[in-house]
Amino acid sequence: MGLFSFTQELAMDLGTANTIIISNGKVVVDQPSMVALDRRSEKVIAIGEIARKMHGKAHENIKTVRPLRDGVIADFYAAEQMIRGMIKMINPKNRLFSPSLRIVVCIPSGCTEVEMRAVRDSAEHAGGRDVYMVYEPMAAAVGIGLDVEAPEGNMIVDIGGGTTEIAVISLGGIVANKSIRVAGDDLTEDIREYMRRQHNIKVGERTAEAIKINVGSALTFLDNPPEDYIVHGPNQMTALPMEVPVSYQEIAHCMEKSISKMEAAILSALEHTPPELYADIVRNGIYLAGGGALMRGLDKRLTDKMNIKFHVAEDPLHAVAKGTGIALKNIDKFSFLMR
């Protein structure tokens, strides 16, 4: 084996919250975008899920870092280490040869030249020989199975951890896009703040996210309501343990402001859509992708509010990565998407 040189092809969705790598149409890495580093030597201690488990629990010699913020690389060194480590997870045993890597990475549509350069450099430093880039909403559209080359307007709303990106695509390009830095992580922060203020209980990021996933809702009335979620934590004042049941209704209230901002961004994108494409969007509906698309009641809320049907993409957490994988496999057909 070591005598052959071959090319390994990887599609990577480098997200603020999660990094997903697809190889030969299969998800081979699906890990939180997190690195644990030795504070003094900067040596990598753990990557992905293991680093996340350390988050909020490490002693002073270990720091846990999220290399991306708002969809773009914020810590260059940590990003490179993370990419390198995740690629290593795919072929841990092959020490005799390292395949030459062709990597397609997706980038937010509002990404600047400098931010794009940072992604390319990180992927190259991590061993990528040919590095291509694809805009995330394009990748999501391909992943959802839309005909991105058709003279037909489609709107994609991708609610990730750091950004909510809205794009109208037609004829293989992005016609209009709007990106706001209000997304899943802000909802988690809203919940932390609410638990502290309303219930006098301190909760960390992971607990707040668990509350969001278990009882998060975009509507204050649901047909199939989830059961109250029991939260454990210290009382703010006394530091004694507390147990608080939380209902979906109160969580819907505390996230209301942030969800309204997402709604306003979608409305603004619609406002800036040329009329012919607007008509297509009303006919086709709007596609929701990213982890935020899983929020209970969100599709119904938006559908009722805008009178346009919102569809949640199948497996929204993987839609962008899946589309990137398809673009990579058909690189000639989709070369117009590559940067």
Q: Summarize as ranges the residues that interact with Mg ion (CB under 5 A).
A: 15, 160
Q: How many CB atoms lie within 10 A of CB 240?
A: 7
- Return the number of other C-beta atoms located less than 10 Å from residue 271's C-beta: 10
Which residue, 152 or 228, has its beta carbon nearer to ligand ATP? 228
Exactly one of 137, 162, 297, 325 binds ligand ATP (CB under 6 A); that residue is 162
Cα 78 to chain center, whole Å?
A: 18
**Percent of the chain as helix, strand, coil, to the nearest 5:** 40, 30, 30
Q: Which of 67, 128, 153, 216 binds ligand ATP (CB under 6 A)?
A: 216
- Closest CB to Mg ion among residues 158, 299: 158
Q: Is 190 in the site for ligand ATP (CB under 6 A)?
A: no
- Which is closer to Mg ion, CB of 135 or CB of 229? 135
CB of 131 or CB of 255, closer to ligand ATP = 255
Residue 163 interacting entry, from Mg ion, ligand ATP, none, C-beta within 5 to 8 Å by type: ligand ATP
| CA 36/CA 38 separation, integer angstroms | 7
Interaction between residue 203 and ligand ATP (CB under 6 A): no
266 contacts which partner out of Mg ion, ligand ATP, none, CB within 5 to 8 A by kind?
none
Site for ligand ATP in 52-81 (CB under 6 A): 71
Q: In angstroms, give the least distance from the CB of 74 to Mg ion.
A: 15
Q: Residue 160, interface with ligand ATP (CB under 6 A)?
A: yes
Six token digits for residue 264: 């306003």
Residue 129 CA, distance from chain mean position? 25
Q: Does the footprint of ligand ATP cover residue 161 (CB under 6 A)? A: yes
Stretch that binds ligand ATP, among 138-146, 160-168, 265-273, 304-312 (CB under 6 A): 160-168
Q: Which two tokens stand for residue 154?
A: 């489609």
Rounded to a whole number of angstroms, the minimum distance from the CB of residue 199 to Mg ion is 31
Whether the Cβ atoms of residue 118 and residue 72 lie closer than 8 Å to each other: yes
- Cβ atoms < 10 Å from Cβ of 245: 11
Give the x-and-dash track for 307-326 against ligand ATP (CB under 6 A). ----------x---------
Binding range to ligand ATP, per CB under 6 A, among 114-122, 232-240, 274-282, 287-295: 287-295
Per partner kind, with CB cut-offs from 5 to 8 A, the member of Mg ion, ligand ATP, none near residue 153 is none
> Which string of DSSP letters, residue by residue, matches 25-85?
TEEEEEEES-EEEETTT--EEEETHHHHHHTTT--TTEEEE--EETTEES-HHHHHHHHHH
From 73-81, 94-102, 252-260, 284-292, span contacting ligand ATP (CB under 6 A) = 284-292
Smallest gap from Cβ 214 to ligand ATP, in A, equals: 9
Asked if residue 294 binds ligand ATP (CB under 6 A), the reply is yes
Least distance to ligand ATP from the beta carbon of 14, Å? 8
For the four alpha carbons of 106, 110, 112 and 113, in that order, the dihedral sign comes to: positive
Residue 327 near residue 104, CB atoms below 8 Å: yes
**Binding test (CB under 6 A) with ligand ATP, winner from 123, 183, 191, 215:** 183
Tokens of 119: 């992604």
Nearest distance, CB of residue 328 and ligand ATP, angstroms: 18
Residue 138 in contact with residue 337, Cβ under 8 Å? yes
Q: Cβ-count burial of 253 within 10 angstroms (0-12 exposed, 13-18 middle, 19+ buried)?
A: middle
